[in-house]
Amino acid sequence: MRGIRMETLNKPNEKLRYAIMGGTFDPIHFGHLAAAETVRQTLNCQKVIFIPLGNPPHKKNRILSDAIHRYTMTVLATNSNPDFEVSNIEVNRDGYTYTLNTIIELKKYYGNDVELLFITGADALLEIETWYKVEELLKLCSFVAVTRPGYDKLMLEQKLLYLQSKYNSELHIIDVPGLNISSTDIRERIKNGASIRYLVPEAVEQYILKHQLFKE
Ligand code: NAP
């Protein structure tokens, strides 16, 4: 049955399940890593594939770090977890990157025996009806909204119920204890000369320092 699931239990899973962790990752932080690991365990996924976004149509008003920096920081951050992988499928794509194209490409690559779940932040998911060909997208894969501590879930739950009935889609909400970290806050700290130690993996911190990222 498709629908909203408030996940609490680990259930044995027969089909292979891969989670796709889509995001800007500018920069990636421990909140993203904790979210990916929580979803992997809770929903019995065999692996999580991190996909830093390439040239997104919805980010026209903000200058992002170069894709190569966001991709490399994601590789450095996930390196120690054997269940995490990073894909350059979006950063290598010319033109705008849409999640639908990414999912179609992954489905072709992995075949029908693998179920795909797309993980993203609750705020990003609230906007999903503005995404490219949302109806097609929601038919192809399930979605997982991860929430920060203290997040007011009422609106999110209502939105997911509405999406479920409108598109007959499968949607999950998962609370992540360590997600009270944000890329925006990290960028602000760097601009203000404050420490980001223990908010991002050490290798990511070193990379940011070496390449002087987020100084302006
Ligand atoms: P965003 O607007 O930058 O982020 C919204 C919120 O969600 C932020 O608080 C962000 O926290 C959090 N967030 C984003 N990705 C997350 C993740 N994987 N796990 C946990 N929290 C996350 O969202 P975005 O990064 O641009 O987009 C998220 C994904 O949706 C991307 O893969 C993007 O390609 C996809 N998307 C697709 C379309 C389309 O196909 N038309 C349109 C919009 C988004 P942080 O700032 O701390 O990360």
- The pTM of the full predicted model, rounded to 2 decimals, is 0.92
Residue 143: how many CA atoms within 13 Å on its side-chain side? 31
Give pLDDT, residue 17: 96
Write down the residue that tokens 């903000």 correspond to.
62
pLDDT digits (tens, 9 = 90+) for 55-72: 877 776 678 999 999 999
Structure tokens at 164: 């479920």
SS3 174: strand
Give pLDDT, residue 4: 52
SS3 119: strand
Directed axis angle between helix 202-210 and helix 67-78, to 10°?
A: 150
Report the separation in Å between the CA atom of 151 and the middle of ligand 1, taken as the mean of its atom positions.
16
What residue ranges do the domains of the chain occupy? Answer: 16-211
**Rounded Cα distance, 156 and 6, in Å:** 12
Report the separation in Å between the CA atom of 3 and the middle of ligand 1, taken as the mean of its atom positions.
22
pLDDT digits (tens, 9 = 90+) for 141-177: 999 999 988 788 898 999 999 999 999 999 999 998 7
pLDDT digits (tens, 9 = 90+) for 26-47: 999 999 999 999 999 999 999 9
- The residues lining ligand 1, judged by C-beta closer than 6 Å to any ligand atom, are 21-24, 32, 35, 53, 56, 58, 98-99, 119-121, 123-124, 131-132, 146, 182-184
Q: Could you tell me which of 36, 9, 175, 202 has the C-alpha nearest to residue 118?
A: 36
Q: Look at residue 9 and tell me whether its pLDDT is greater than 60.
A: no
Q: Could you tell me which of 9, 22, 27 has the C-alpha nearest to residue 73?
A: 27
Domain 16-211: CATH superfamily, name plus number: HUPs (3.40.50.620)
